[in-house]
Amino acid sequence: MIVLASTALLVAGCSSTEVEEQVERPVEQLYNEALNTALAGNAKKAAPKFEEVERQHPYSSLAVRAQLMAAWAFYQDNNYPRAIAALDRFVELNPADERVEYAYYLKALCYYEQIVDVQRDAEMTKLAMQAFEELVRRFPDGDYFRDATLKIDLTRSHLAGKEMAVGRFYLSKQHYGAALRRFENVVTDYDTTNQVPEALYRMTEAYLSLGLASEANRVEEVAVYNYPKSIWTQRLLELRANPERELEAGWFERTAESVVNLFD
């Protein structure tokens, strides 16, 4: 009997706790409590409070706002995966809401702020660039267009820099075909970045090392036409003007036919 009574008390205690947690409260009270918690600087505690607004009052106008505020609180707490999931859900449930543009912008920021070292891992940089590009495409006249455009340029420059770093490495190891592919990626995929003039210079180095003078001439024409004042174009012209210089290690003459396999 004592055991049964103890068990009954334990169950009753658990039940009373659950009932207390599930007590419905006015939507304004819940929302204001969550908002005050956020304004006090405790985003981690604010996020579940905003989620509770929607849980208890899913059809309230404040529930929609609470969805976005929960995502913002997760973002403020640097809980980027939860923030991104909440933002995707907000957009899916409220595609016509006036705050959707901000949701896209905040999602892009979640990726952007996770960029640590593009040389080691470019995936987050690519995700940030794609997210900002989607924002610009959907809201070309939006409030965040200018900032998104600037960040697109920065992410593209980061990605171009990674391609250049890999290309320089291959060039130093005399893997000219692999190096050329990286430099060509910069010229074609990141043509608006400041990495292009150096990419053209490095392409010339690679082509000359392969003995492909006509290809080197073609790259030189592109550089002179598009970047006449760049220091890399000046270096390229110096390189081409002094063919009798002491050649770098790895210099050798080959016909185009003998190196086709390098460009597969």
User: What would the pLDDT profile of 17-76 be if each residue is shown by its tens digit?
Assistant: 443 355 778 878 889 999 999 999 899 999 999 999 888 888 888 989 999 999 999 999
Query: Whole-model pTM?
Result: 0.75
Cβ-in-10-Å burial (0-12, 13-18, 19+) of 85 comes to middle
Place of tokens 């270096």: 235
Place of tokens 């920065």: 154
Can you spell out the DSSP letters for 139-167? -TTSTTHHHHHHHHHHHHHHHHHHHHHHH
Query: What pLDDT is stored for residue 59 in this prediction?
Result: 86
Amino acid letter for position 15? S
Length of the chain: 264
pLDDT, average across residues 2-7: 41
Query: What pLDDT is stored for residue 240 in this prediction?
Result: 74
Residue 153 binned pLDDT confidence (cut-offs 50, 70, 90): very high
Query: What pLDDT is stored for residue 6 in this prediction?
Result: 42
65-122: per-residue pLDDT in tens? 999 999 999 999 999 999 999 999 999 999 999 999 999 999 999 999 998 876 666 8
Q: Give me 10's structure tokens.
A: 């334990």
pLDDT, average across residues 149-164: 93
Query: What pLDDT is stored for residue 101 in this prediction?
Result: 97
Contact residues for 118 (Cβ-Cβ < 8 A; gap 6+)? 125, 158, 159, 161, 162
What's 261's DSSP letter? Answer: G
Report d(CA 179, CA 170) in Å as an integer.
5
